[in-house]
Structures are given as C-alpha cells and as structure tokens.
Amino acid sequence: MNDAKSTETLIQEVARLKTQIDDLKREGAQLRKAATVLEKDQERYKRLLQFLTDYIYTVTIEDGAVVDTYHGPGCVAITGYNSEDYAADPDLWHRMVHEDDIERVTAQAHQALSGTEVPPLAHRIRHRDGSVRWIRNTIVLRKDAAGRVLSYDGLITDITKLKQAELEARQREKQLIQAEKMATLGVLASGIAHEVNNPNNFILLNAQFLREVWNDAEPVMREYERDNGPLYLAGLPHREAAENVREMISGIIQGAGRIKKIVNNLNTFSRSDPGDLNQTVDVEAMVESAILIVRNLIHKSTQNFQVDHAPDLPAVKGSVQQLEQVVINLLTNACHALSDPQQQIGISTYREEQTGRVCVAVYDGGCGIPPEQISRILDPFYTTKRDSEGTGLGLSISYQIVKNHGGELLIESTLGQGTTATVKLPEAKDT
C-alpha cells in the first residue's frame, strides 16, 4: 500500500517537473526571441548613429560632478574628432568651443549639472581642419526620483549652412535698403538738378548781359581816359581792371554753361526710360556724357585719368540712357577699386576688327578681383564691397542692359594689378 502511494507521488512530481520544464522552454524561447529582437535593435541603433548627420553625446553625473562623457560616432562628421579622441582628452570639447562663445557654453553646462532645464544653444566650434562651424546643442536631463541629475544627453546639430543663409539674407536686406536709398537719391538728384537749373539760368543770362554792357562801356572808358587822364576801377588801373573783368565774366559764363550741361545730363539720366532700344547712339558722345556726370568722383579718385576715342567710330542701336548708365557704373566701380590717386583709370572706345562690334573698355590699376570671385561678379547682389557702399546690383544690371542690346560684357582682372571691363555692342546697320 505504501509502495503504491510512493509510486503515485513520484508520478505526480515527475508530471509537475515536466510542466515546469515546458514552461521554462517556452520562457527560454521567448527570451531567445527577445534577445534576437534586442540584438537587431542594437545593430539598427548603431547603424543609425553611424549615419546620422547629427550626433549624440552622454554626460554621466555623480554628486553633481561629471564622471564620464560619451561621444557618439557621428561626432567625426561635425567636429573632425572621433570618440577615441574625446576619451583620450577630456578637455578637447571645451578647447574646441570658439573663444567668443565659451562663456555661454560653460553657463549652459553648469545649469544642466545643477538640474536646470536649458534651452538649445547655438554656438561656434573650431573643426579639426581649422574651419569654424556653427552647431546647435540641445540638452535633455535624466533625473532620479529625488530630482537629482543622473546624466544628460546632448544632440549636436550642424547649422553652419543655416547660419550662412541667414547671414546672406541679412546682407541682401541691407543691399536692398541701400539700393532703395540710391533710387531715392536719384529722384532727389533730379529734383535738385531742376532747382539748380533755375538760378543757374538767371546767372548765365545776367553774365551774358553784363558782357554786352562791358563791351559797350569799355570804348567810353578808353575815350574818357584818353581825354582826362588815368582811370581807376576798384583801385586798379583801367587796362588791368578791364582784363580782369573780361576774364571774370567769361569764367562766369563758362561755369554756368558747365553747370547747365551737368544738370541736363542728370535730368536725362534720372528720367524714366521708356525702354526704346531703337535709338541711334553716338558712342563717343554717350561716353563723354557719362564722364561728365562722374567727373567729380574721378578727380577725387585719381590724378591719372585717360580717355582714348577711336576716330570714325560707327553708331550702335539702343537706349542712350541705359548705355550711359552702364558706363557710369563701370567708371564708378573703377574709382572704388583704387587705393592711391596715382593709380590709373582709363576709358577707350574702338571697333573690333574681327567682329565689327563697337567696344567701350574701362580699366583701372586698382586692387583687382580674386579669381574665385570672377565667375560670380555678374550675379545679382554679389559684391566685393560688402563693408562699404556696394549693393551687388550695378554689374548685374549692367550685364542685363548690355545683353538686351545684343552685346557682351566681359570682366578681366588680375589680383593686385587691376581690372578691365569691356562692353561689346553690335554696330548699327542701315535699314
């Protein structure tokens, strides 16, 4: 009887153990499956980290102090240094921070260590290759139940291109403001020219009248001197005074005439252009008109200005005003390129023998343009004078005007030696 009970108990225990073994097998299979999934997830995570353009770093903290820092593999793409470099040199990251940003970066780290949530911080670092990069550093804190910081994860994003785009946008905004100012100045110049013209006409007419009066009075004064002895005018003997008066009246008439010509050119230049490109343009006269408008700037910029016109130059078809605008812009650029009044500016007109095109070349002995900028010099808003008065519109507009006239604008430059801008226009054909 006892043996039967023992046998039954043994069978029950074997059945129970078998059930436990089956349960363990199922749990083992589940664990193996979970391990496989976890292993795949880890591999996927590693691959993602490897190919991220951003990179993640982790700072481990104990008792408010940093005990370990891990930099993900993506750090190489952004900083040029790998994880081993950071592990070997714990201060490497701080030395990379740009000197102008180190105070803000240090403050962000101290706030994170103290458990204060911090906003993302944009700052500069020095890449391993020596270049300066902009990054955005975003920090996420991990705390225990008591609110103590255990670690924080940081996400580093390269925003260099974004910063460059923002800088270019701000620069273009400044250039547009400057261009608007120049347009406003053109309107004001037109109004001022009109106001100047009125008193100048008064001066010119009166000076011409005074010359006639003097011519009529001088024979009377000579006769008076012959009959009555020496005649003095303003303390000077008649003969000396007469010579001075003639020169003064002649100078007033010439000066007023020059002012009138300048005013007329300004009015023509600032007048709204209807866009007619069928005018017959005397290139030599157009160039002389442009020179007259910018003569003051030329005289301030150089003591060595030369003009060379080819004889019997054929006319071209187009807009006198638009082509004059091109020449004014090229002369202005030449003036701005000089650093010494002894440096030369010149303008020449000639006919290209091979093609028959009429050419206007403006050259200067100034600073020249770097080779890497030549290909972009005609782009809108691109300027080599970012710190001064340049808008980057002048050459672009000039290029478009010349193109609309069926011509070509060529820029040739040697750094440190000077620049030559050549406008080539088709000769006007008789119809």
Q: What is the CATH number of the domain that holds 100?
A: 3.30.450.20
Query: What residue numbers bound the domain in which 364 lies?
Result: 276-431
Number of domains into which the chain is organized: 4
Same domain membership, residue 420 and residue 290: yes
Residue that terminates a domain, selected from 122, 139, 158: 158
Same domain, 284 and 431: yes
Taking residues 268-294, what's their average pLDDT? 79
State percent of the chain over pLDDT 70.
78
34 and 121 inside one domain: no
What integer pLDDT is reported at residue 257 of this predicted model? 81
Reported as a pLDDT band with limits 50, 70 and 90, residue 368 is confident
pLDDT of residue 131: 92
Does residue 32 carry a pLDDT above 90? no
The pLDDT score that the predictor gives to residue 51 is 46
Q: pLDDT averaged over the chain?
A: 81
Stretch 84-89: mean pLDDT? 88
In Å, the largest CA–CA distance within the chain is 183
pLDDT at residue 390, rounded to an integer: 47
* Domain end (from 249, 271, 293): 271
Last residue of a domain, one of 248, 271, 294: 271
Residue 116 shares a structural domain with residue 222: no
Average confidence (pLDDT) over 126-138: 92
Q: Are residues 351 and 417 in the same domain?
A: yes
Same domain, 349 and 409: yes
Question: For residue 287, is pLDDT > 90?
Answer: yes
Same domain, 169 and 146: no
Q: What's residue 146's pLDDT?
A: 81
- Considering the domain architecture, whether residues 424 and 317 belong to the same structural domain is answered as yes
Confidence of residue 387 (pLDDT cuts 50, 70, 90): very low
CA distance 196 to 184: 18
**Tokens coding 98:** 């740009």
Same domain, 117 and 144: yes
The domain that contains 418 carries what CATH number? 3.30.565.10
Smallest CA-to-CA distance from 182 within 324, 416, 339, 391 is with 391
Same domain, 192 and 75: no
Window from 57-61, 268-272, 304-308 with minimum mean pLDDT: 268-272
Higher pLDDT, 105 or 38: 105
pLDDT above 50: residue 301: yes
Summarised one tens digit per residue, pLDDT across range 136-195 is 999 888 888 888 888 888 888 889 888 888 888 777 766 665 665 666 566 666 667 767
| Band of residue 363 on the pLDDT scale cut at 50, 70, 90 | very high
**22 and 130 housed in the same domain:** no
pLDDT of residue 75: 86
Residues 284, 414: one domain? Answer: yes
Q: Which residue has the higher pLDDT, 375 or 309?
A: 309
Q: Which of 356, 360, 354 is nearest to 282 (CA)?
A: 360
